Amino acid sequence: MPDLEARAAEVNARLKKRYPDAKCALDFTNAFELLIATILSAQSTDARVNIVTKSLFRKYPGPKEFANADIVAMETDVKQTGFFRNKAKAVINCSKAIMEKHGGEVPRTMDELTALPGVGRKTANVVLGNAFSINVGIVVDTHVGRVSGRLGLTENADPVKIEEDLMALVPRKEWTIFAHRLIFHGRQTCDARKPRCEECVVSDLCPSAQLATASPASPASSRGRSARSATPSSKTPRQSRTSKSPRGRTRNTSE
């Protein structure tokens, strides 16, 4: 574990230098806007959500207006983000709960946030870390899961377990920004299909880069779970791209 902690610290330091502007990519001016934007970001892109919320927050300036919104109108307003029926219901019900149980203020604890309709641990972590600067956990999205797996910082596929692994390796005050650095790295360098290992600032620390070098015909493993000890696995990258899901089903972890 100490070796792994040291590697995580070095990864964090280098990514800090590489992505000095890493931050939340969703546009927001307060905690409520970030909460709504994060709910809408599921299965969508931050850029798309930012386009939608620009007019959405003008039409519905706060939780009261969202809570009183017409569901059909809201479905139309959030349609571009995908899964619009579920999302429209979620943002309205979430806003109603904020009005009824929290006096119109977004709560500041994990338990209270995750009790809101449509709010899971990832969304709560985004709001707590970025709107309130409270480090309760680490956001694990598709980029954080993939990059931390390839780097050998976790062997897990379940986001909750990945989060626990990372929380044990990274100092608490860095939890929110560490996730942003991994997300920036996932978007700009450690691409899901074609990781650019040759230009990666942490390639010498990454067991998946070693695997890619050993087998140039295949890309770096999607997660690199077998490489947590930094010892290259005998598995080929392609073999290591499947993993057991939390429910025991085998799933392809490549995006």
Residues near ligand SF4 (CB under 6 A), total: 15
Catalytic pick from 141, 158, 161, 235? Answer: 141
**Which residue among 220, 222, 223, 243 contacts ligand SF4 (CB under 6 A)?**
220
46 among known catalytic residues: no
- Cβ at position 143, least distance to ligand SF4 in Å: 11
- Cβ proximity to ligand SF4: between 65 and 204 the closer is 204
Amino acid at 125: N
Q: Is 165 a catalytic residue?
A: no
The only residue of 209, 227, 228, 233 in contact with ligand SF4, by rule CB under 6 A: 209
Q: Which phi and psi (to 5°) does residue 135 adopt?
A: -90, 95
Which residues, numbered 146-175, are part of the site for ligand SF4 (CB under 6 A)? 147, 150-151
Nearer to ligand SF4, 138 or 209 (CB): 209
Catalytic residue among 87, 96, 122, 165: 122
d(CA 112, CA 106): 9
Q: With respect to ligand SF4, which residue has the nearer C-beta, 196 or 244? A: 196
Rounded to a whole number of angstroms, the minimum distance from the CB of residue 224 to ligand SF4 is: 7
Site for ligand SF4 in 10-69 (CB under 6 A): none
**Separation of alpha carbons 195 and 212, rounded Å:** 10
- Asked if residues 228 and 156 have their Cβ atoms less than 8 Å apart, the reply is no
Q: Which of 8, 88, 206, 227 binds ligand SF4 (CB under 6 A)?
A: 206
Candidates 18-26, 27-35, 95-103, 203-211: pick the segment binding ligand SF4 (CB under 6 A).
203-211
Site for ligand SF4 in 173-202 (CB under 6 A): 189-190, 195-197, 200, 202
Between CA 115 and CA 133 the distance in angstroms is 20
Q: Rank residues 136 and 151 by Cβ distance to ligand SF4 and give the closer one.
A: 151
**Residue whose CB is less far from ligand SF4, 203 or 243:** 203
Active site members = 122, 141
Binding site for ligand SF4 (CB under 6 A): 147, 150-151, 189-190, 195-197, 200, 202-203, 206, 208-209, 220
